[in-house]
């Protein structure tokens, strides 16, 4: 009997060791010489004339008591500088294909109004226009990304805008720019030719839009930027692979700098769910939609590879993020929503996907920057808060223009109601100073996960880290408690015999630095 009990004890003990071993995920990182660089523009942002994004967000006017520079809030400028914002997309979105840029230049008192037919039916006075936006980008040190009007505009209108913004010599448009107070051109390099042409940009068929793109692109000449303009085609919604195939087949590569793709993490379009008061089932579905980004990039990228094997054309994910029901009592056309730990892990997991596809994805734009959808900044009159998504974007800014370190990971599973998702995601890079950064996300709502990394090959001896976490998935930063969620020093790791062992808390984001 004692012998039988001893055998049972040994079996149980060994089984526990095996289970414990299985619970530690091995993450391998390769220092590969030919790996791509993570383009800083992956960390771009989006500012559409939508709700309180521009008016009441970025722009309060130069007579406001809120401290500002030429009408743009100083606190927002400072926050975005700390974020190292690489580019900013404007004026839309759907709004772009109803926007006529000449209405937003010249003396503000002479500018006509415009009804925002897409977002709330509000009347705008055009007081924030081309000069305001491009000067803001200069203040931020960010590349402007101008989205041109194809849906209701003309080839001449877009051609004139390029000349107005970029031409340094004498011409009707450069003379007009100088008359309006700006002598030197801004030399805007990144231009979108329409937005969501399959929908709000004109409900076009892909063949028709390809022809329109070729026509518009032909007349967008530029002699100011080295290498010319980066012209970006209005790309697919989600898994519309035929759209990408049609564009790549019908537009010469010499005319195409990038092809856009939009994907939002939405539970159901007709029933998006509350931004704060959500269930685990809704959280799981949101994460499922977020992780779908990897499949979308892989399949769109494979189509692009057929026509562009040297990968000269960028896949530009210029709208992404979580989309929920608007906050109770707010204008439904303003798309104002709170930002919780759900959004933090969504952002971290998505950015890991972008980093790991750095060979093809060379630009992306979180939707949106201020007061709209998955915003990094929220304002209420003079008050301003930084959201959990802001903190993730700031933590990940170390990856900008760093060399990708390819990873291999066999993630444990996050299980809910019989469905499973990979619980862990990661990306890694090495910057110009030789610092290695490893970003880790655990989407599991209840369970911590352990990761083991062999760091001998990377030459890492010392490790430090930051953690973004909170007790509840539904936690958020409010105007009453603006610092409830913010990064803290991370100590949940140890180095043993050249291996880094990390305990990743549930629904958390970690950034490790090794040197």
Burial class (CB in 10 A: 0-12, 13-18, 19+), 187: middle
Model pLDDT, residue 25: 93
Looking at the fold, whether 223 and 84 belong to one and the same domain comes out as yes
DSSP 8-state symbol, 12: H
Closest listed residue to residue 339, CA positions, set 388, 372, 290: 388
Looking at the fold, whether 256 and 316 belong to one and the same domain comes out as yes
Q: Is residue 326 part of a domain?
A: yes
Q: Show Cβ contacts of residue 205 under 8 Å, excluding neighbours closer than 6 positions.
A: none
Task: Reply yes or no on whether the pLDDT at 144 is more than 60.
Answer: yes
Render the burial of 57-73: b for 16+ CB within 10 Å, e for the rest: bbbbeeeeebebeebbb
Q: List alpha helices for 69-202, DSSP H.
A: 74-82, 130-140, 155-166, 172-179
Looking at the fold, whether 389 and 277 belong to one and the same domain comes out as yes
Model pLDDT, residue 33: 83
For residue 486, what is the domain's CATH number?
Answer: 2.60.40.1180
Task: Reply yes or no on whether the pLDDT at 203 is more than 70.
Answer: yes
Give the DSSP H/E element, type plus range, for residue 379. strand 377-380
pLDDT class of 458 with cuts at 50, 70, 90 = confident
Strand-pair category, 463-468 with 488-489: antiparallel
Locus of tokens 């007349």: 219
Task: Reply yes or no on whether the pLDDT at 2 is more than 50.
Answer: no
> HSE-up of 433 (CA within 13 Å, CB side)?
8
**CA distances in angstroms from 278 to 160, 324, 387, 472, listed in the order given:** 48, 10, 18, 11
Model pLDDT, residue 225: 74
Per-residue model confidence as pLDDT tens digits over 218-250? 999 887 777 789 999 999 999 999 999 999 999
Q: Show Cβ contacts of residue 498 under 8 Å, excluding neighbours closer than 6 positions.
A: 454, 455, 456
Phi, psi of 273 (to 5 degrees): 90, 160
Strand-pair category, 72-73 with 424-430: unpaired
Model pLDDT, residue 23: 79
Per-residue model confidence as pLDDT tens digits over 46-56? 999 999 999 99
Last residue of one domain, picked from the residues 384, 400, 416: 400
Looking at the fold, whether 462 and 439 belong to one and the same domain comes out as yes
Provide the residue range defining the domain that includes 285: 40-400
Q: Is residue 7 part of a domain?
A: no
Strand partners, 315: 259, 361
Looking at the fold, whether 276 and 417 belong to one and the same domain comes out as no
Task: Reply yes or no on whether the pLDDT at 319 is more than 70.
Answer: yes
Model pLDDT, residue 31: 85
Model pLDDT, residue 27: 94
Looking at the fold, whether 395 and 432 belong to one and the same domain comes out as no
Q: How many CB atoms lie within 10 A of CB 302?
A: 12
Model pLDDT, residue 20: 40
Looking at the fold, whether 124 and 214 belong to one and the same domain comes out as yes
Q: Is residue 15 part of a domain?
A: no
Q: Any idea which residues carry the catalytic annotation?
A: 196, 319
In the three-class reduction of DSSP (H, G, I as helix; E, B as strand; rest coil), residue 99 is classed as coil
Looking at the fold, whether 443 and 298 belong to one and the same domain comes out as no
Last residue of one domain, picked from the residues 400, 419, 448: 400
Task: Reply yes or no on whether the pLDDT at 9 is more than 90.
Answer: no
Q: Is residue 14 part of a domain?
A: no
Per-residue model confidence as pLDDT tens digits over 463-474? 999 999 999 999
Looking at the fold, whether 364 and 221 belong to one and the same domain comes out as yes
Q: Is residue 375 part of a domain?
A: yes
Looking at the fold, whether 380 and 424 belong to one and the same domain comes out as no
Phi, psi of 71 (to 5 degrees): 90, -10
Per-residue model confidence as pLDDT tens digits over 157-181? 999 999 999 999 999 999 999 999 9
Per-residue model confidence as pLDDT tens digits over 274-308? 999 999 999 999 999 999 999 999 999 999 999 99
Separate counts of helices (H) and strands (E) for the chain? 10, 27
Task: Reply yes or no on whether the pLDDT at 14 is more than 90.
Answer: no
For residue 110, what is the domain's CATH number?
Answer: 3.20.20.80
Report how many domains make up the chain.
2
Per-residue model confidence as pLDDT tens digits over 328-352? 999 999 999 999 999 999 999 999 9
- What average pLDDT does this structure show over 23-37? 90
Q: Is residue 19 part of a domain?
A: no
pLDDT class of 12 with cuts at 50, 70, 90 = very low
Last residue of one domain, picked from the residues 368, 400, 432: 400
Task: Reply yes or no on whether the pLDDT at 5 is more than 70.
Answer: no
Locus of tokens 């309060």: 60
Per-residue model confidence as pLDDT tens digits over 405-448? 999 999 999 999 999 999 999 999 999 999 999 999 999 999 99
Question: Is the pTM value of this prediction over 0.85?
Answer: yes
In the three-class reduction of DSSP (H, G, I as helix; E, B as strand; rest coil), residue 321 is classed as strand
Q: What are all long-range contacts of 55-61, with beta carbons under 8 Å and residues at least 24 apart?
A: 55/124, 55/127, 55/128, 56/371, 56/379, 57/370, 57/371, 57/372, 57/377, 57/379, 58/128, 58/136, 58/369, 58/370, 59/127, 59/128, 59/132, 61/127
Averaged confidence pLDDT in the chain: 94
CA distance 91 to 126: 11
């Amino acid at each position: 009997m004692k012998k039988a009990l001893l055998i049972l004890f040994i079996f149980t003990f060994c089984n526990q060791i095996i289970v414990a071993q299985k619970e530690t995920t091995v993450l391998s990182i390769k220092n590969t010489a030919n790996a791509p660089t993570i383009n800083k523009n992956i960390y771009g942002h989006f500012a559409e004339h939508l709700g309180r994004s521009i008016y009441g967000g970025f722009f309060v006017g130069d007579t406001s008591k809120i401290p500002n520079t030429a009408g743009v809030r100083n606190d927002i400028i400072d926050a975005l500088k700390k974020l190292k914002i690489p580019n900013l997309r404007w004026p839309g979105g759907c709004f772009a294909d109803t926007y006529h840029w000449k209405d937003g230049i010249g003396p503000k008192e002479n500018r006509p109004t415009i009804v925002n037919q897409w977002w709330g039916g509000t009347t705008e006075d055009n007081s924030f226009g081309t000069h305001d936006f491009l000067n803001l980008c200069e203040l931020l040190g960010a590349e402007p990304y101008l989205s041109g009007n194809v849906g209701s505009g003309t080839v001449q209108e877009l051609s004139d805008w390029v000349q107005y913004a970029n031409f340094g010599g004498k011409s009707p448009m450069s003379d007009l720019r100088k008359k309006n107070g700006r002598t030197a051109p801004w030399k805007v390099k990144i231009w979108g030719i329409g937005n969501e042409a399959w929908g709000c940009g004109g409900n076009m068929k892909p063949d028709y839009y390809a022809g329109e793109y070729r026509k518009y692109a032909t007349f967008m000449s530029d002699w100011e930027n080295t290498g010319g303009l980066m012209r970006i085609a209005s790309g697919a919604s989600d898994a519309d692979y035929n759209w990408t195939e049609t564009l790549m087949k019908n537009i010469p590569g010499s005319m195409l700098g990038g092809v856009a793709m939009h994907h939002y993490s939405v539970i159901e379009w007709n029933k998006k769910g509350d931004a704060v008061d959500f269930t685990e089932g809704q959280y799981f579905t949101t994460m499922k939609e977020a992780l779908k980004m990897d499949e979308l990039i892989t399949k769109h990228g494979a189509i692009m590879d057929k026509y562009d094997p040297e990968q000269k054309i960028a896949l530009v994910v210029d709208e992404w993020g979580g989309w929920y029901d608007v906050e109770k009592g707010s204008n439904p056309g303003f798309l104002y929503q709170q930002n919780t730990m759900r959004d933090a892990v969504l952002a971290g997991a998505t950015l890991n996907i972008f980093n790991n596809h750095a060979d093809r994805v060379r630009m992306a734009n979180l939707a949106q920057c201020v007061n709209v959808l998955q915003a990094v900044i929220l304002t209420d009159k003079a008050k301003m808060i930084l959201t959990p998504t802001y903190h993730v974007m700031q933590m990940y800014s170390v990856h900008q223009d760093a060399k990708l370190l390819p990873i291999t990971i066999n993630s444990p599973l996050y299980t809910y109601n019989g469905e499973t998702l990979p619980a862990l995601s990661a990306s890694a890079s090495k910057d110009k100073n030789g610092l290695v950064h490893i970003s880790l996300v655990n989407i599991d709502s209840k369970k911590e996960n352990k990761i083991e990394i062999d760091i001998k090959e990377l030459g890492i001896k010392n490790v430090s880290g930051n953690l973004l976490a909170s007790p509840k998935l539904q936690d958020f930063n409010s105007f009453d408690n603006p610092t409830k969620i913010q990064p803290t020093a991370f100590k949940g790791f140890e180095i043993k015999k050249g291996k880094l062992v990390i305990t990743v808390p549930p629904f958390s984001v970690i950034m490790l630095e090794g040197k």
